[in-house]
Amino acid sequence: MLQAPDFLTIGHVTRDLRPDGSFTLGGTVTFAALTAYRLGLAAGIVTCADPELISQLPTFLPSIALHARQSAQSTTFVNQYQEGFRTQYLRARGESLQVSDVPQDWLEAPVVLLGPLAQELAPDFVQLFRRRQGAIIAATPQGWLRRWDADGRVWPTPWQDALRVLPFLDVLILSHDDLLPFANGNRQEADAILAQWSLHVPLLIATDGRHGATLFRHGETQRFAAYTITEVDPTGAGDVFAAAFLTHLYRHGDPARAVDFANSTASFSVERQGIEGIPTLELVEERMRTYGRLR
């Protein structure tokens, strides 16, 4: 029997390759679970990876509950950044996850984040969890918005199952940039897509890097300024934002305050490499206090 964590996230852990051939542990589930834990929640991950990486996960994630199925290989990315834009290559892909991979007792986790990276979660996952008062079912859909060519280069692809998934979610969180390829690079057209999606889900949040984030509630928008920092590594910032937003929403129930809290949390994550920048609750609140945003 595995006790349900407060915060459950599902998707592939990844090897993010460095230029020297070494790797850092990545993936939405990695950044999100660590963020929730450092903000004070018990966190758990359902994933699959190769046996060697699975054996290393307790060292990388010593305080995170893990349920990992073995796969012949782990999802492996190369991320290249230039002038704020990322070119990404998929070098290997783990097996798709199955609904049976989720421990029965974990189905009652009060906060669930679906974090696909490479089309590894079928739309059926969203119906696995019982809707109930006080619980939150959320998704970051970047992995449903990706395809890759024969060379492994990752390209955007339309989210074909959006209208099948959104009605079963409480929260959708994504990057504004994820939709620009489908809006001819026009931000107003991207906002129109987001506004349309927001009619099918109670809360939708679009992050936009140094421009902050926008909260959509049934088509109505509210914008929140970012925190001014020096960016070192943007990898995982959106996942940190998502986990921070959900953690604050779960505790306090105020979406607007949760967005600002998440902006503060994500600002720390880009100041250092990989998972090293994920802050504690005390650091997040101190930065908010410095900016005069803590109430």
Strands (E), 176-217: 203-207, 213-217
Strands (E), 157-291: 171-175, 203-207, 213-217, 220-224
Give the model confidence (pLDDT) of 175-210 as tens digits: 988 888 887 777 888 888 999 999 999 999 999 888
What mean pLDDT value characterizes the chain?
92
When mean pLDDT is compared across 54-58, 138-142, 195-199, 217-221, the lowest value belongs to: 217-221
pTM comes to 0.94
Provide mean pLDDT across the span 5-9.
97
pLDDT of residue 242: 97
Provide mean pLDDT across the span 1-20.
89
pLDDT of residue 86: 76
CA distances to 123, 127, 188 from 164, rounded to whole Å, are 7, 10, 24
Could you give all domains of the chain from N- to C-terminal order, each with its CATH number?
Answer: 7-290 (3.40.1190.20)
Q: Which residue has the tokens 């937003």?
A: 245
Residue 172 has pLDDT above 70, yes or no: yes
Listed residue (207, 236, 177, 258) closest to 35, CA to CA: 236
Residue 70 has pLDDT above 80, yes or no: yes
Q: How confident is the model at residue 246 (pLDDT cuts 50, 70, 90)?
A: very high
Pairwise CA distance, residues 233 & 280, whole Å: 18
